[in-house]
Amino acid sequence: MSTILFTVVYVAVLVGIGAFLTRYPSDDDAKRKLYKNAGKSLALAAFISLAGSIASMATGIGKLHTLSCIVPLAIASTYIIYKDVKTSKEKGNAELTVLITMFFAIATVVVIVFSGNNMDVSVSKDEIVVSGVYEEKIKKRDIEKMELVNELPEIEYRKNGISVGSVNIGYFKTSDGKTVKLFLQGNEPPFIHIVKSNKKEIFICSKDSAETSSIFQLIMRKE
């Protein structure tokens, strides 16, 4: 799914849920007002997410897209939960809190998984950019070594990153105590291994081996 299509669907879902909450039928005035405010909050979050996503696509900053989807929804959810808990002290029911918490958790997972699967590698004469939530900009003058390898180092655990199936993106600790940065959309070799002058190690792998090899050749051609 492209970033544009994902953004359209994501914003449409927020607006749709917001519209439903705004028109939520209830004989309780306080509850009706609560749901109406919740709907407006989600609609505002959708507008901010759309604006942030457009800015992300215009600037090429992949991390901005992820943040613009998660942060506005997090703020809206916090506000809704606060209002719901405050109302429930009088009414004895916090059903909206449960629903919003579940929705926020699901939406966050969906956004993160999409960001992990939407990794893109762009190459210019002077720089390699791996876009996404853990975006990395590598100046070619800072590269000490770059090669294709058939094996990854043994990973002990994930320090700060995403691991969903064969997708592993972020910072991981190896069995020999090193911290490496992985951009893996698959687990089929070869893997692009880059060592920077500051000894930072990066591994890149696309969804299929042919694409990974193509990226490596593209980098080499633009040396």
Model-level pTM greater than 0.85? no
Pairing of β 179-184 and β 201-205 = parallel
As a dihedral over the C-alpha atoms of residue 68, residue 73, residue 75, residue 81, rounded to 10 degrees, the angle is -170
Q: What is the pLDDT along the chain (223 residues), one digit of tens a residue?
A: 567 778 888 899 999 999 998 888 777 788 888 889 999 999 999 999 999 888 877 876 767 777 888 899 999 999 998 888 887 765 555 778 888 888 888 887 787 777 766 677 888 888 998 877 677 889 999 999 999 999 999 999 988 888 877 888 889 999 999 999 999 988 889 999 999 999 999 999 988 899 999 999 988 886 5
